[in-house]
Amino acid sequence: MTTHYDVLIIGAGPAGLSAAIEMKSLAPHLNIGIIDEYLLAGGRLLGQLYEESKGQWWNGFRKSEELRQQIQQLNIDLFLEVSVYDLIIKDESVTFFTERGRMTSKYALIATGASEVPTPIEGWTLPGVMSVGAAQVMTNVHRVKPGKQGVIIGVNMLSSAIAMELALAEVNVKAMALPLYSIENEQHAIPKVIFKQVMAAAHMAPSLLAKLGSKILFTDHLKDFAIQFYPKKGIKMWGIPIYMRSAIKRIEGEGKVERVIMVDITTDGKEIPSTERAIPADFVCLSGGLTPLAELVSLAGVPFYAIEALGGHVPLHNEQMETPIPQIFVAGNVTGIEGAKVAMAQGRVAAQSILLRFNQSSKKQLQQRIAQVHEERRHAAIQFHPLLEQGREELYEKWKLEQSQ
């Protein structure tokens, strides 16, 4: 078995798989390998499930399987259950150190996606507490319920999407609430801030938080609805009460989750004394949203910039998905948090950029693929941050600046 490739792709998610398919379809002689540490191909796409329009479902599990079949038909080497722990760039090639030995390639696409931001809270090491993405994977990928009754801590795009998916699978979610304020959880714990995000989301996620946003507006007939009017008992979405005037203070139980303790809070997130009450639960999901998983890109020596609208520290790259390191390309959520369809379109852009290095594409084709990223972004079912486009522009400006120096 060869360990030398023309192109190695790290991450078998929507970006990585799409890039591989694009490259191999247009240049069948290229030797392409994909590495992923999970046991299935698809990455975060595997767990996604939402109704795009009446009766039309975006079924990430099925989509992942379709992509995997294409990979197989195109004879692309797919290495699952292989973790990469280091890389070096030497003599114009990239060497990846994996659990099963070394693999080298002329070019590498790093499409490692995103990881979840935790919201540490007292009791979060108890068995039964998991990230919200963990519950999504258990439910939608492996078809095991995370528990009999649970609570989601953290109100954001990701947790709302997954709450809906859990409801669909008839997982009993008894409440969705903010974590009680702490410095570490600051961004996720202040009702007036979260409330603004939810209202902004009304324009960004027609199928998700928007419903909550419009429900609030509809319920109160108030143009300038404010957080102080948010009902104490929460507003129900998909049968789950969403609280913004109460927060979870801690998780309790003997050796496992048995209950969460909820308190009332001010609009600034301050605890109102003597309001503690217990909600019985055998599982808890924590969610602070997603952030790019950039370990490998960082080891490659690509500089990073902190851009909040993109989800945190992102590697420097341009619209062609090139990085300042000539052998390294990036695509998908490692470049900023967006939906799977954008990630797939970005993967195809990276593919075209790499194909150009092998003289197997044209600038025109590359431009067409870039235009498709914009198209997907405009039509995205979920936009994770209202200033996403500005965030992207900000990074491209940094690129221009760096190139001019």
Partner 1 sequence: MNNQSSIICRCEEVSSKKLHQVANEQRCSARELKLRTRAGMGYCGGRTCRIAINKIATHYQATQTTNLPLKYQAPIRPVSFEQVGTGGELK
Partner 2 sequence: MRIHHHPVLRPLQRKEINFTFNGQTYKGLEGEPIAAALLANNIRTLRVHEESGTPRGIYCNIGHCYECRVTVNGIQGKRACLTPLTHHMDINSGEILSTAVRDWRKQHDHSL
Residues of this chain that bind partner 1 (CB under 8 A): 1, 3, 37, 83-87, 97, 99-103, 115, 117-118, 120-125, 180-184, 186, 249-250, 270-271, 288, 291, 294-296, 298-299, 306, 312-313
Q: Cα separation of 10 and 403, whole Å?
A: 26
**Which 75-94 positions form the footprint of partner 2 (CB under 8 A)?**
81, 83
* Total residues binding partner 2 (CB under 8 A): 39
Scanning 101-109, 164-172, 185-193, 210-218 for contacts with partner 2 by CB under 8 A, the matching segment is: 164-172
How far apart are CB 246 and partner 1 at their closest, in Å? 15
Q: Cα separation of 94 and 66, whole Å?
A: 29
Q: Which is nearer to partner 1, 118 or 206 (CB)?
A: 118
- Hey, CA dihedral for 283, 157, 118, 86, is it positive or negative? positive
Assess contact for 16 and 347: CB atoms under 8 A. yes
Which of 16, 33, 42, 147 is the binder for partner 2 (CB under 8 A)?
A: 147
Q: Which is nearer to partner 1, 10 or 71 (CB)?
A: 10
Which residue in this structure is represented by tokens 């492996």? 142
Asked whether position 133 contacts partner 2 by CB under 8 A, the answer is: yes
Q: Which is nearer to partner 1, 60 or 289 (CB)?
A: 289
120 DSSP 8-state letter: -
Binding site partner of 3, from partner 2, partner 1, none, Cβ cut-off 5-8 A by kind = partner 1
Half-sphere exposure (Cβ direction) of 340: Cα atoms closer than 13 Å = 22
The interface mask with partner 2, positions 58-77, x = CB under 8 A, is -x-xx---------------
Asked whether position 146 contacts partner 2 by CB under 8 A, the answer is: yes
Binding site partner of 59, from partner 2, partner 1, none, Cβ cut-off 5-8 A by kind = partner 2
Which of 140, 327, 352, 361 is the binder for partner 2 (CB under 8 A)?
A: 140
Q: Are strands 93-98 and 240-252 parallel, antiparallel or unpaired?
A: unpaired
Q: Which is nearer to partner 1, 57 or 85 (CB)?
A: 85
Q: Using H for helix, E for strand and C for coil, what is the string for 222-252?
A: CCCCCHHHCCCCCEEECCEEEEEEEEEEEEE
How far apart are CB 134 and partner 2 at their closest, in Å? 3
Binding site partner of 160, from partner 2, partner 1, none, Cβ cut-off 5-8 A by kind = none
Q: Are strands 149-153 and 172-179 parallel, antiparallel or unpaired?
A: parallel
Q: Using H for helix, E for strand and C for coil, what is the string for 88-119?
A: EEECCEEEEEECCEEEEEEEEEECCCEEECCC
Binding site partner of 133, from partner 1, partner 2, none, Cβ cut-off 5-8 A by kind = partner 2
Q: Cα separation of 323 and 316, whole Å?
A: 6
Residue 332 CB partners (closer than 8 Å, separation 6+): 11, 13, 14, 15, 16, 43, 111, 112, 113, 343, 346, 347
**Which 327-386 positions form the footprint of partner 2 (CB under 8 A)?**
none
Encoded tokens for 354: 């790499």
Q: Cα separation of 253 and 122, whole Å?
A: 11
Which among 104, 115, 134 is positioned nearest to 35, based on CA atoms? Answer: 104
Binding site partner of 213, from partner 2, partner 1, none, Cβ cut-off 5-8 A by kind = none
Asked whether position 99 contacts partner 2 by CB under 8 A, the answer is: no
Query: Strand, helix or coil at 295?
Result: helix
Half-sphere exposure (Cβ direction) of 356: Cα atoms closer than 13 Å = 19
Which among 146, 181, 192, 180 is positioned nearest to 165, based on CA atoms? Answer: 146
Q: Which is nearer to partner 1, 248 or 343 (CB)?
A: 248
Scanning 18-26, 167-175, 200-208, 311-319 for contacts with partner 2 by CB under 8 A, the matching segment is: 167-175
Residue length of the chain: 405
Binding site partner of 58, from partner 2, partner 1, none, Cβ cut-off 5-8 A by kind = none
Asked whether position 304 contacts partner 2 by CB under 8 A, the answer is: no
Q: Which is nearer to partner 1, 43 or 288 (CB)?
A: 288
Which residue in this structure is represented by tokens 């590498």? 108
By the criterion CB under 8 A, which residues form the site for partner 2?
37-39, 49, 57, 59, 61-62, 81, 83, 115-116, 125-131, 133-135, 137-140, 142-148, 168-170, 255-256, 293
